[in-house]
Amino acid sequence: MTKTIGILLFDDFEELDAVGPWEVLAYWTRTNPEDGWAVTTLSRDGTLVTAAKGLQLQPAHSYSDAPPLDVLIYPGGIGTRPHLKDEAQLEWVRRQRETVPLLTSVCTGSLVYAQAGLLKGRPATTHWAALELLQQLDPTLEPKPDARYVDDGDMITAAGVSAGIDMALHLIVRLKDADRAREVKRGIQYDPQPPV
Amino acid sequence: MTKTIGILLFDDFEELDAVGPWEVLAYWTRTNPEDGWAVTTLSRDGTLVTAAKGLQLQPAHSYSDAPPLDVLIYPGGIGTRPHLKDEAQLEWVRRQRETVPLLTSVCTGSLVYAQAGLLKGRPATTHWAALELLQQLDPTLEPKPDARYVDDGDMITAAGVSAGIDMALHLIVRLKDADRAREVKRGIQYDPQPPV
């Protein structure tokens, strides 16, 4: 029985928030199907999505035809802001909490979890520029401004944009083991050397 | 007059090879349009592309309707292998050399440049697992196995997959300045902390 990681797509999601983890996890699951995991993408209606910087992606599934998820990844981007006032979306998020064992976010995806009431009293992080808003949305949560990602058991929140790559490697450590994560890191030659 | 960076898309390109640089460069050009640069995507026929790990993207342009490019980014992925035997594609690449001031590649994109004869006697790199093939394709080139990217003036080649993020930041340094590159790095919170 293959388990499924679903990456949420929506208009104005930030491109690397979703595609960073996608690369890490799809590299893993396609190279090692014997590990029993797969990764897919889903959006509300399954039609072409235009991301925050203009890239267009075709989700694999709509909410209604997506397989049951074992892990959800909620990316950030300016497109999360409308979700904060979208009761149907917040209700969908709360339903995921009831059925998906592990919820994760990248960047401002955690704002939506906070607004949905899923971060009450819990440690969490987000993009550095959204930490104040995160705490405004739920004053009971414990912001972790210095964390690259915060693993709080059934909830993992990552910092801004590129932090999703590190979180996805951590997911492989959790779902498989550190050796596999190292293999994927080597496969995508993730030995960062920022020139500035 | 806005100058244009074009990111090539084709079936079986490796997702992060293209979307890593896209994030860096689109973040820059959308945040600072006053710098005079834009970034777009193009593919041979402009129709939906399926990447190496299954993600589907809609290019903004076909070869025939793309704007004149000032920089081309050729991503890698298993989809570069058919290009090595595709005379129409190799001829297109050679024409880009005549008209595009700066050619760049990520990962195995440099294999196509080598096969097109654009790396004769020049230093270059690629994904670590493809270095031998790179040198087989053009024994006159000087492989740089330890470089994150090789800037050889009008040709920049980057190492595997995630190296495109570092190369894209270097492009901002070259095309604008180091301060702007630092702003983008901060914007995408690119402070890598690989957990393995």
Closest residue of chain B to A147, computed from CA coordinates: B193
Beta partners for residue A155, in sequence order: A103
3-state helix, strand, coil in chain A (%, to 5): 40, 20, 40
Q: With residue A47 as reference, give the H or E element that holds it.
A: none
Q: Do A53 and B30 touch (CB under 8 A)?
A: yes
pLDDT digits (tens, 9 = 90+) for A49-83: 999 999 999 999 999 999 999 999 999 999 999 99
Q: What are phi and psi of B142, to 5 degrees?
A: -110, 100
Write the residue in B26, B48, B194 that is nearest to A53 by C-beta: B26
- Tell me how far apart the terminal alpha carbons of chain A are, to the nearest angstrom: 45
Q: How far is A47 from chain B (nearest CA, A)?
A: 12
Length of chain A: 196
Band of residue A98 on the pLDDT scale cut at 50, 70, 90: very high
Q: What are phi and psi of B139, to 5 degrees?
A: -65, -10
The predicted structure's pLDDT at residue A171: 98
Note the maximum CA span of chain B: 45
Mention every residue, 6+ apart, whose C-beta is less than 8 A from residue B34: none
Interchain CB contact of A75 with B (< 8 Å): no
Amino acid at A57: L
The predicted structure's pLDDT at residue B65: 98
Q: Concatenated DSSP letters for B75-117?
A: --STTHHHHTT-HHHHHHHHHHHHH-SEEEE-TTHHHHHHHTT
CB A127, CB A76: distance < 8 Å: yes
Write down the number of H helices and E strands in chain A. Answer: 7, 11
The predicted structure's pLDDT at residue B185: 98
Q: Is B3-187 a CATH 3.40.50.880 domain?
A: yes
The predicted structure's pLDDT at residue A152: 98
Q: How many CB pairs under 8 A join A and B?
A: 148
CB B53, CB B75: distance < 8 Å: no
Interchain CB contact of B195 with A (< 8 Å): yes
The predicted structure's pLDDT at residue B165: 98
**Which ranges of chain B have pLDDT less than 50?**
none
Beta partners for residue A74, in sequence order: A105
Q: Do A192 and B166 touch (CB under 8 A)?
A: yes
Q: Where are the domains of chain B?
A: 3-187
Q: How far is A183 from chain B (nearest CA, A)?
A: 10
Interface of B with A in 77-136 (CB under 8 A): 107, 127-128
| Chain A residues with CB-CB distance to B19 below 8 A | 15-16, 19-20, 23, 55
pLDDT digits (tens, 9 = 90+) for B102-120: 999 999 999 999 999 999 9
User: For chain A, what percent of residues have pLDDT higher than 90?
Assistant: 99
Q: Token pair for residue A194? A: 């920022």
The predicted structure's pLDDT at residue B76: 98
The predicted structure's pLDDT at residue B188: 97
Q: Taking each helix axis as running N to C, give the angle between helix A15-31 and helix A163-175, from 0 to 180 degrees, rounded to the nearest 10.
A: 30
| Chain A residues with CB-CB distance to B189 below 8 A | 107, 127-128, 159-163
Catalytic residues of B: 107
Of B53, B61, B107, nearest to B80 (Cα)?
Answer: B107
Cα A158–A164–A167 angle (5° rounding)? 70
Cα A76 to Cα A12: distance, rounded to the nearest angstrom: 9
Write the residue in A20, A107, A193 that is nearest to B148 by C-beta: A193
Write the residue in B22, B163, B178 that is nearest to A15 by C-beta: B22
The predicted structure's pLDDT at residue A147: 98
Catalytic residues of A: 107
Interface of A with B in 5-24 (CB under 8 A): 14-16, 19-20, 22-23
Mention every residue, 6+ apart, whose C-beta is less than 8 A from residue B180: B28, B32, B35, B172, B173
HSE-up of B179 (CA within 13 Å, CB side)? 2
CA A141 to chain CA centroid, nearest Å: 19
Q: With residue B79 as reference, give the H or E element that holds it.
A: none
Cα B105 to Cα A125: distance, rounded to the nearest angstrom: 34
Closest residue of chain B to A18, computed from CA coordinates: B19
Closest residue of chain A to B185, computed from CA coordinates: A196
Q: What are phi and psi of B161, to 5 degrees?
A: 40, -90
pLDDT digits (tens, 9 = 90+) for A124-183: 999 999 999 999 999 999 999 999 999 999 999 999 999 999 999 999 999 999 999 999
Radius of gyration of chain B (CA): 16
Interchain CB contact of A148 with B (< 8 Å): yes
Q: Do A169 and B127 touch (CB under 8 A)?
A: no
Interface of B with A in 44-63 (CB under 8 A): 48, 53-58, 60
The predicted structure's pLDDT at residue B131: 98
Q: What are phi and psi of B149, to 5 degrees?
A: -155, 155
Mention every residue, 6+ apart, whose C-beta is less than 8 A from residue A96: A69, A72, A103
Q: How far is A98 from chain B (nearest CA, A)?
A: 28
User: For chain B, what percent of residues have pLDDT higher than 70?
Assistant: 100
Interchain CB contact of A195 with B (< 8 Å): yes
Q: Do B128 and A189 touch (CB under 8 A)?
A: yes
Handedness of CA A19, A22, A28, A29 (dihedral sign): negative
The predicted structure's pLDDT at residue A105: 98
